[in-house]
Amino acid sequence: MENQTKRYWKGLEELRNDETFVKNASSEFGNLEKPESTPNNSIVDGLGDLGDRRDFLKVLGFGMAAVSLAACDAPVKNSLPYVNKPTDTFPTIADWYASTYSEGGDYASIMVKTREGRPIKIEGNNQSSINKGGTSARAQASLLGLYDVEKLKGPKKGEADADWDAVDKEIVAQLAAVAARGGAISIVSSTIISPSTKAVIADFTAKYPTTKHITYDANSVWGLIKANADSFGKAVVPSYDFSKAEVIVGLSCDFLATWVSSAESVRQYAQTRKLSSAKGGKRTMSRHYQFETVMSMTGSNADYRVAVKPSQEGAVAVALYNKLTGGRAASLGEQADKMLTKAAADLKAANGASLVVSGSNDPNVQTIVNAINATLGAYGKTINLNAPVYYRQGNDMAMNAFIDEAKAGKVGAVLFYEANPVYDHPRGAELKEALTKTALSISFADRADETASLCKYITPAPHFLECWGDAEPKAGHYSLIQPTISPIYKTRQAQSSLLKWAGASSDYYAYVRNFWKSNMGTGNFEQFWVKCLHDGVYEPAAGISESGASYLGNTAGAISAIGAAKSSALEVVLYEKVGMGTGAMANNPWLQEFPEPITKACWDNYASMSQKTAKDNDLSQGDVIKVEVGGKSVEVPVLIQPGQANETIALAIGYGREKAGKSGNGVGVNVYPMASLKSGYLSFNAGTGTMAKTGEKRDIAQTQTHETVMGRKAVVQEGRLANYKKNTMEGRFLPKIHTSEGLKSPGDITLWNGYQKPNHSWGMVIDLNSCNGCGACVVSCQAENNVQVVGRQEVVNRREMHWIRIDRYYSTDVDDKVEEMGLIDGPRALEIASENPDVVFQPLMCQHCTNAPCETVCPVLATTHSSEGLNQMAYNRCIGTRYCANNCPFKVRRFNWFKYFDNDNFDYHFNNDLGKMVINPDVTVRSRGVIEKCSMCVQRIQEGKLTAKKDRRRPVDGEIITACAQSCPTEAIAFGDMNDPESRISQLLAEEKEGRAFTMLEEINVKPVVSYLVKIRNKDVEKKATEAHAAEAHGGH
Amino acid sequence: MHITSPVRTPLVTGGKTYADVTEDICRHVEGKPTKEWKVAFTISLLVLLYGAACVAWTWWEGLGVWGLNKTVGWAWDITNFVWWVGIGHAGTLISAVLLLFRQKWRTSINRAAEAMTIFAVLCAASFIVMHMGRPWLAYWALPLPNTFGSLWVNFNSPLVWDVFAISTYFSVSCLFWFVGLVPDLATIRDRAKNKVSKYIYGALSLGWNGSAKAWARYEYISLILAGLSTPLVLSVHTIVSMDFATSVIPGWHTTIFPPYFVAGAIFSGFAMVQTLMLVTRVVYKLEDYITLEHIESMNKIITLTGSIVGVAYLTEFFIAWYSGVEYETYAFVNRATGPYWWAYWAMMTCNVISPQLFWSRSIRRSVKWTFFISIIVNIGMWFERFVIIVTSLHRDYIPSSWAMFSPTMFDIGDYIFSFGFFFTCFFLFSKYLPVINMAEVKAIVKSSSEKLPKKVSGVAKGERVSAPTFNKDAQ
């Protein structure tokens, strides 16, 4: 890499101040934001800088702490200027690097924003055809893991600190000894989607031939892989294309959040839900049926949702199959039967443009699902076996066998890579026992977690933002991981360690590069490599052809294996939460405080159950119960979850960590041991259980406690597709006010003079149809705007600080008939959610009201209106009367009740120097006693305007984008300048003006600049609903 | 001097002479503190210390020690503020409005009532400062010339109006109170036996010499200040009510608030005066100066204002229904039947039902009943503010944000602080300053206390006389 000659010449040119030199000096990554304008030759020229940049990272390794930390502290103690400023870096100007986030089946090609050498924000990479610029909440939050002060600072031998050379020597000696006596060496990992890492493992295996690589997943889909092997002879997870599906049936499958390829599915699904009120606009949307036990995020988006017990999971698939093929279907209850018949009819009508997916890990159920999809002709249309996805490759059987071997003392050495089976495998306790019998155990974990702490050696791997690497999430779709900061601690990538122990060069960067050179390189490799690094992705197979597949599965065998649904009294089911996932990132306070999309609970897991089950057992929210299943028991508080199947208890995995760190330890309980292994397949259907009241109470930290919208149409408006096709104003609520001159719109009567917005007029449009509630925006906003984490008790106290929240409302049984129920009984009935409610999500941030009630009441003018339509907050001026927060009709203002940074009562990374490196230097960290709220990322607006001004042009639409809009995987949030008629937001508003666009609380005439698009459900229109709608259209007040 | 009909019940009983008045009042100032006083003062001082510790912790740690949350941004703080401001209304009303209306019975209670006003306003002001997130910057709420650039206060904000209203009210009340004290301070100065007292009271009495000129000026200034204060009685609580009325929150956004708040303030102020005077009267043996007539008159005002408040409560409900505004209707249904129903019904019972008992003459003239109801009324008025503030905020427009408020020990402790402060001040006042305006009482001794003709003596004793014979040769 070191190209001394080139550097020498560079010096000469520099001396001459050559024009081309000056031009190219900063061109390698400085132009990442607009790659299309990158001329090809500059890539070659940029090559010389690559070495410099690596040097720069090294330099930063020394200077970083002093420089960056001093920048966070006031007063500044040690501010060290660059002696020689790196060519590519300018203080206050962000550098962007393409990289890849991949954890627990969650994948995103990302762009990392660094400031003064610190990564401070993750955004989706628009170049990736998989996530297309979107990110998940977890991908956003993964950034904070880099600055986790509780990570290991160097290798460990047992409890003691060690140094790398000694550790390497000992390990190599012991590995050689194990290999020499023919002892088994096992590498246990979670799914590895990196092809070069697999090559490293192969090299390691070549050196130590007794090595076996065991892959397992905490939330496994091995049953699906197995079923595909049986049905099609391909042991893969196919790629699904939800965007082509007109009818989608989900069987206990959370495909929008926690299933195999949610990063891709979420966007495809949203495409089928988008509508346009423009002339000739799209008026069709997919219809989604969901049969599931727990109210999942996916189920909450379904048009029709039926609650079924976990034991019925297979029977539902069989019944659907029978209904499609004309067989006799066993009854599963009136509601389920009705919906299955309806779903079957719709599936048939869709003529192959359909998709049936199941989240089950039972190969028999998956075989039936394959049979259904094959019957419907979905293969080749919505399912592509030729382009498998690799997010989850875990082999439950192999893992089981490994544990058996370890127990028998047959494992000579074990290496844990991105795996923590003692915690997240049902047989973790057995493994814990067995590890003592293993001569050599090594973990690459970044901390002494449940597994690593039992190992003889911990050779910590750095955070992925400090790493080189690659990934292949889907056949023919590659992406690169490049470091954005040099290693903070004395850590070494697992790949380097493996290479070193295998006696090869430990330079993994060179390894990846060579791997790409020999496997993917085309033409001029240097050019190719730099382009891939720049783009982050390389997708030679983006347009891989789809073809049908002939189904060879044993359907009858699967049906008989599933048998009749054996429903038992009380069934316990485990599930994965959208934010916490499998618990690997449990020490991430952003994720811990992330409100689960459905329950809006954070900092805990709990026993969720339906209203009826709670009532039958005389339980109310917060009662601590003891749940016992298969001899294992946990004590958890009750959370009442409308829409859950009766007589079931659902418990979330990913909690109850013991050695994750301060934020994760002791949060909730670990329910992995309750998972069962049914004929070798990991099953989250834990089986029949019992529960008993303990008499204790525990508050669940929820950011929203009121479940329904109380029939308030000015808050959320929704309609039905059939009506919308006839009338684009479907579901709109148009309040009128009686005046002496007749009925008037609230906006026509005003005391306000209005504001001139001569330059820009920023605004947002949020499509309630696209928003699925995933909450990526919440964490994105948190990272962008230095939003504080306040901890469990403070969330219980209803003081979370999130600037954007996603309100979730359940429908009630009385939504249509509340008028007749009277003033007292009506509202009471409206407070109670239906047994199986429709759900609506509404992202809510500061609405930047044009007639802002907060602005008039502030005694000191700390909150004022900008000439660009923003409601802005001057923290320094705020004296904290909270009058604005009280007078905010949307309740989006947040008060700093305590000093949240540098305060050990709030030990969430903002109280130590490393943790504070995540702070976005463009955004003030708010002091105690001031109000804060969404600023519409004013720092980004300013930056975009300045960039445009430097170029002597107007900002281009899309150039300035808020964090929430940027991270939204479904493009539900459109941000832009409403003064620019060409902008997406202006066009959307123009299209939807006589359509779905509404602003909240129109009656009070605060004129928000945030508009919402009516939520349309693809449900049949019952006659009654039509009449009610007609009556409403004439009424109003 | 106005002519007072001899059939009027006497305002000072016991045939007090000028000398008696001086002696009765000055005795307490000049004597050693009594044991009861010491005990009471120690208790209030301890309460103040405990409260001050709570306040100090609140300041040190931040407002998070209170039970407030993202939805309910004000609760006990502003409830206490409005409650104390309300209590502070009686003093000025008694001194100014009753002076202008020539209600002579005010003379024996105005001094203590004004003192109470001042201390109550101070308590209220303490909550203004305390409720701020950054109280050390409280002065930013004042329109001071500054070096921050062109920063100015927001004259649209009712909180700024509050700052003006409360500070004006406080300064005028202080001035009024002090001017009224001057002749009495001079009396004490003249009677003082030790040098320290002589010096202090001498300095405070501003060289009062009792000349006709001094008296004339005293009366002018009293009248001018009364004229100035009268609008303040109405304006202060009107403006406080605008903190709520100008907002958009259902349950706050109500045009009826100004008169309703003023009535409520007088209601609670008089109740507090009753509570304090009934105690002072017994402890200082001032039954001849604060007679049942005074108590009855004040009870009548309490019943009147209580009824106004009751009508206001009902009007709010009617308008909530009549307006057809979904949110307003719900806000009031929620008040009466929601999770805070108990606060609402406590308020209704204490404020609307209890003062109606005063329609009975025997209850109205019963010291015990009066004392009991005066406390009930003040509890009720506290709940009124709590109901308005908390039950409106906790469920406003967006149901996702609905939340409950529950107080912490610091909400309670900071409220206790204000009691400690108030009573400590009041006990100091009652010991070191004349609790009754001697000069003004002396002015009415002649007209309202002279021995009355036998034929109407029943009236004088406050008993009913079926057919009084009017005295034709009185005096």
Percent of chain B with pLDDT over 90: 67
**Residue B305, in any domain of the structure:** yes
Q: Are residues A368 and A405 both part of a single domain?
A: no
Interface size A-B, in CB pairs within 8 Å, comes to: 172
The answer, for B134 touching chain A at a CB cutoff of 8 Å, is yes
Query: Which residues are within 8 A (CB) of A173 and not within 5 positions of it... i.e. 6 or more apart?
Result: none
Question: What is the pLDDT at residue A33?
Answer: 45
pLDDT digits (tens, 9 = 90+) for B209-220: 989 999 999 999
Residue of A827, A895, A1004 with shortest CB distance to B330 = A827
Furthest-apart CA pair in chain A: how many Å?
A: 99
- Across the interface, whether the CB atoms of B153 and A860 are under 8 A apart is answered yes
Question: What is the pLDDT at residue A34?
Answer: 43
For residue A847, list chain B residues with Cβ-Cβ distance below 8 A.
Answer: none
Interface of B with A in 163-222 (CB under 8 A): 163
Q: Long-range contacts for A904-912 (Cβ within 8 Å, ≥24 apart)?
A: A906/A788, A906/A789, A906/A790, A906/A791, A907/A662, A907/A663, A908/A589, A908/A593, A908/A663, A908/A788, A908/A789, A908/A790, A908/A791, A909/A144, A909/A147, A909/A148, A909/A149, A909/A589, A909/A663, A909/A789, A910/A788, A910/A789, A912/A149
pLDDT digits (tens, 9 = 90+) for A647-696: 999 999 999 999 999 999 999 999 999 999 888 899 999 889 999 999 99
**Residue A556, in any domain of the structure:** no
User: With contact defined as beta carbons under 8 Å apart, do A327 and A321 qualify?
Assistant: yes
Provide φ and ψ at B454, rounded to 5°.
Answer: -60, -35
For residue B157, list chain A residues with Cβ-Cβ distance below 8 A.
Answer: 856-859, 883
Question: What is the pLDDT at residue B4?
Answer: 60
The answer, for B333 touching chain A at a CB cutoff of 8 Å, is yes
For B399, which residue in chain A has the nearest alpha carbon?
A709
Q: Are residues A650 and A680 both part of a single domain?
A: yes
pLDDT digits (tens, 9 = 90+) for B395-451: 999 999 999 999 999 999 999 999 999 999 999 999 999 999 888 888 887 766 555
Q: Please tell me whether residue A932 adopts helix, strand or coil conformation.
A: strand
Query: Which residues are within 8 A (CB) of B284 and not within 5 positions of it... i.e. 6 or more apart?
Result: B28, B430, B435
In the predicted model, what is the mean pLDDT of residues A281-304? 94
Interface of B with A in 246-275 (CB under 8 A): 246-249
For residue B62, list chain A residues with Cβ-Cβ distance below 8 A.
Answer: 896-899, 928-929
For residue A787, list chain B residues with Cβ-Cβ distance below 8 A.
Answer: none
Per DSSP, what are the bridge partners of residue A998?
A1012
DSSP string, A665-685: BTSS---GGG-EEETTEEESE
**Residue A863, in any domain of the structure:** yes
The answer, for A901 touching chain B at a CB cutoff of 8 Å, is no
The nearest CA of chain A is from the CA of B130 a distance in Å of 10
Distance from chain centroid for Cα A952: 38
In three state form, how does the secondary structure of A291-328 look?
Answer: EECCCCHHHHCCCEEEECCHHHHHHHHHHHHHHHHCCC
For residue B132, list chain A residues with Cβ-Cβ distance below 8 A.
Answer: 879-881, 929
Q: Binning pLDDT at 50, 70 and 90, where does residue A41 land?
A: very low
pLDDT at A1037 over 50: no
Q: Are residues A398 and A384 both part of a single domain?
A: no
Query: Which residues are within 8 A (CB) of A302 and not within 5 positions of it... i.e. 6 or more apart?
Result: A250, A288, A289, A290
For B390, which residue in chain A has the nearest alpha carbon?
A886
Question: What is the pLDDT at residue A31?
Answer: 44
The answer, for A708 touching chain B at a CB cutoff of 8 Å, is yes
Strands across the sheet containing A762-767: A973-977, A762-767, A1010-1013, A997-998
The answer, for A839 touching chain B at a CB cutoff of 8 Å, is no
Question: What is the pLDDT at residue B466?
Answer: 53
Q: Are residues A756 and A622 both part of a single domain?
A: no
Provide φ and ψ at A567, rounded to 5°.
Answer: -80, 135
In the predicted model, what is the mean pLDDT of residues A394-408? 94
The nearest CA of chain B is from the CA of A708 a distance in Å of 7
Domain boundary (A144, A173, A192) is at A144
The secondary element (H helix, E strand) that includes residue B129 is: helix B110-130
Question: Which one has a higher pLDDT value, B89 or A882?
Answer: A882
Number of domains in chain B: 1
For residue A794, list chain B residues with Cβ-Cβ distance below 8 A.
Answer: 64
**Residue A1021, in any domain of the structure:** yes
First vs last Cα of chain A: how many Å apart? 74
Q: Are residues A380 and A483 both part of a single domain?
A: no
Per DSSP, what are the bridge partners of residue A507?
none
The secondary element (H helix, E strand) that includes residue A695 is: strand A685-697
Question: What is the pLDDT at residue A811?
Answer: 94
User: With contact defined as beta carbons under 8 Å apart, do A387 and A239 qualify?
Assistant: yes
Q: Are residues A755 and A815 both part of a single domain?
A: yes
For residue B143, list chain A residues with Cβ-Cβ distance below 8 A.
Answer: none
Burial profile B426-446: b = 16 or more Cβ within 10 angstroms, e = fewer: bbebbbebbbbbbbbbbebbe
**Residue A711, in any domain of the structure:** no
Residue of B62, B132, B163 with shortest CB distance to A898 = B62
User: With contact defined as beta carbons under 8 Å apart, do A592 and A144 qualify?
Assistant: no
Domain boundary (A535, A550, A576) is at A535
pLDDT at A2 over 80: no
The answer, for B153 touching chain A at a CB cutoff of 8 Å, is yes
For residue B152, list chain A residues with Cβ-Cβ distance below 8 A.
Answer: 861
Dihedral angle, C-alpha A670, A676, A680, A681, nearest 10 °? -80
Question: What is the pLDDT at residue B449?
Answer: 54
Question: Which one has a higher pLDDT value, A895 or A2?
Answer: A895
For residue A887, list chain B residues with Cβ-Cβ distance below 8 A.
Answer: 247-249
User: With contact defined as beta carbons under 8 Å apart, do B463 and B293 qualify?
Assistant: no
Range of the domain at B311: 18-32+68-152+248-406+433-460
Question: What is the pLDDT at residue A84?
Answer: 79
**Residue A881, in any domain of the structure:** yes
For A880, which residue in chain B has the nearest alpha carbon?
B133
**Residue A502, in any domain of the structure:** yes
**Residue A549, in any domain of the structure:** no
- Domain harbouring A685, CATH code: 2.40.40.20
What does the alpha-carbon distance between residue B430 and residue B424 come to, in Å, rounded to a whole number?
10
pLDDT at A48 over 50: no
For residue A893, list chain B residues with Cβ-Cβ distance below 8 A.
Answer: 70
- Domain harbouring A780, CATH code: 3.30.70.20
- Residue ranges of alpha helices (H) inside A86-239 are 137-146, 164-180, 195-207, 222-232
pLDDT at A367 over 90: yes
For residue A860, list chain B residues with Cβ-Cβ distance below 8 A.
Answer: 140-141, 151, 153-154
Which of A940-949, B83-92, B445-454 shows the lowest per-residue confidence on average (mean pLDDT)?
B445-454
The answer, for B141 touching chain A at a CB cutoff of 8 Å, is yes
pLDDT at A3 over 60: no
Residue of B133, B134, B157 with shortest CB distance to A857 = B157
Q: Are residues A754 and A737 both part of a single domain?
A: yes
Number of domains in chain A: 5
The answer, for A804 touching chain B at a CB cutoff of 8 Å, is no
pLDDT at A765 over 90: yes
* Amino acid letter, residue B161: W
What does the alpha-carbon distance between residue B279 and residue B287 come to, in Å, rounded to a whole number?
11
The secondary element (H helix, E strand) that includes residue A9 is: helix A4-16
Structure tokens at B186: 């001079």
Percent of chain A with pLDDT over 70: 90
Domain boundary (A647, A675, A702) is at A702
For residue B393, list chain A residues with Cβ-Cβ distance below 8 A.
Answer: 886
Range of the domain at A240: 222-389
Q: Please tell me whether residue A634 adopts helix, strand or coil conformation.
A: strand
For residue A858, list chain B residues with Cβ-Cβ distance below 8 A.
Answer: 154, 157, 159
The answer, for A800 touching chain B at a CB cutoff of 8 Å, is yes
In the predicted model, what is the mean pLDDT of residues B315-330? 92
Question: What is the pLDDT at residue A1032?
Answer: 45
Highest mean pLDDT among A114-118, A621-625, A1029-1033: A621-625
The nearest CA of chain A is from the CA of B295 a distance in Å of 40
- Across the interface, whether the CB atoms of B62 and A929 are under 8 A apart is answered yes
Residue of A704, A800, A857 with shortest CB distance to B400 = A704
Q: Are residues A858 and A972 both part of a single domain?
A: yes
CB-CB neighbours of A635 under 10 Å? 14
**Residue B139, in any domain of the structure:** yes
Question: What is the pLDDT at residue A553?
Answer: 85
Q: Are residues A780 and A677 both part of a single domain?
A: no
User: With contact defined as beta carbons under 8 Å apart, do A463 and A475 qualify?
Assistant: no
The nearest CA of chain A is from the CA of B62 a distance in Å of 5
Task: Output the average pLDDT for chain A.
Answer: 88
In the predicted model, what is the mean pLDDT of residues A963-981? 94
**Residue B226, in any domain of the structure:** no
The answer, for B144 touching chain A at a CB cutoff of 8 Å, is no
Q: Residue A996 carries which DSSP code? A: T
The nearest CA of chain A is from the CA of B200 a distance in Å of 40
Per DSSP, what are the bridge partners of residue A122?
A112
The nearest CA of chain B is from the CA of A909 a distance in Å of 20
Furthest-apart CA pair in chain B: how many Å?
A: 78
Structure tokens at A494: 């697992």
Highest mean pLDDT among A29-43, A511-525, A944-958: A944-958
For residue A861, list chain B residues with Cβ-Cβ distance below 8 A.
Answer: 151-154
What does the alpha-carbon distance between residue A992 and residue A1014 come to, in Å, rounded to a whole number?
10
Q: Please tell me whether residue A927 adopts helix, strand or coil conformation.
A: coil
**Residue B63, in any domain of the structure:** no
Per DSSP, what are the bridge partners of residue A211?
A185
Q: Binning pLDDT at 50, 70 and 90, where does residue A80 land?
A: low
Best to test chain A binding among B147, B397, B408 (most A CBs inside 10 Å): B397
Q: Are residues A257 and A214 both part of a single domain?
A: no
- Domain harbouring A286, CATH code: 3.40.228.10
Q: Please tell me whether residue A815 adopts helix, strand or coil conformation.
A: coil
Structure tokens at A599: 């329950």
pLDDT at B475 over 70: no
Structure tokens at B196: 């320290």
pLDDT digits (tens, 9 = 90+) for A513-529: 999 999 887 788 999 99
The answer, for A803 touching chain B at a CB cutoff of 8 Å, is no
Q: Please tell me whether residue A611 adopts helix, strand or coil conformation.
A: helix
Q: Are residues A589 and A648 both part of a single domain?
A: yes
Best to test chain A binding among B400, B410, B411 (most A CBs inside 10 Å): B400
pLDDT digits (tens, 9 = 90+) for A565-604: 666 789 999 999 999 999 999 999 999 999 999 999 999 9
Residues A796, A897, A846, A998, CA torsion sign: positive
What does the alpha-carbon distance between residue A684 and residue B429 come to, in Å, rounded to a whole number?
74
- Across the interface, whether the CB atoms of B157 and A856 are under 8 A apart is answered yes
- Across the interface, whether the CB atoms of A890 and B133 are under 8 A apart is answered no
The answer, for B68 touching chain A at a CB cutoff of 8 Å, is yes
Question: What is the pLDDT at residue B105?
Answer: 80
**Residue A149, in any domain of the structure:** no
Question: Which one has a higher pLDDT value, A784 or B144?
Answer: A784
The answer, for A882 touching chain B at a CB cutoff of 8 Å, is yes
Q: Binning pLDDT at 50, 70 and 90, where does residue A822 land?
A: confident
Which of A15-29, A977-991, B255-269, B393-407 shows the lowest per-residue confidence on average (mean pLDDT)?
A15-29
- Across the interface, whether the CB atoms of A715 and B398 are under 8 A apart is answered yes
The nearest CA of chain A is from the CA of B242 a distance in Å of 11
**Residue B330, in any domain of the structure:** yes
What ipTM describes this predicted complex? 0.91
For residue A928, list chain B residues with Cβ-Cβ distance below 8 A.
Answer: 62, 133-134
**Residue B223, in any domain of the structure:** no
Task: Output the average pLDDT for chain B.
Answer: 88
* Amino acid letter, residue A398: A
User: With contact defined as beta carbons under 8 Å apart, do A848 and A870 qualify?
Assistant: yes
**Residue B126, in any domain of the structure:** yes
Which of A550-559, A737-746, B63-72, B142-151 shows the lowest per-residue confidence on average (mean pLDDT)?
B142-151
In the predicted model, what is the mean pLDDT of residues B17-36? 87
Per DSSP, what are the bridge partners of residue A665?
A657
Half-sphere exposure at residue A763, Cβ-oriented, CA atoms within 13 angstroms:
27
pLDDT at B465 over 70: no
Interface of B with A in 385-404 (CB under 8 A): 393, 395-403
Question: What is the pLDDT at residue A328?
Answer: 84
Q: Are residues A410 and A424 both part of a single domain?
A: yes
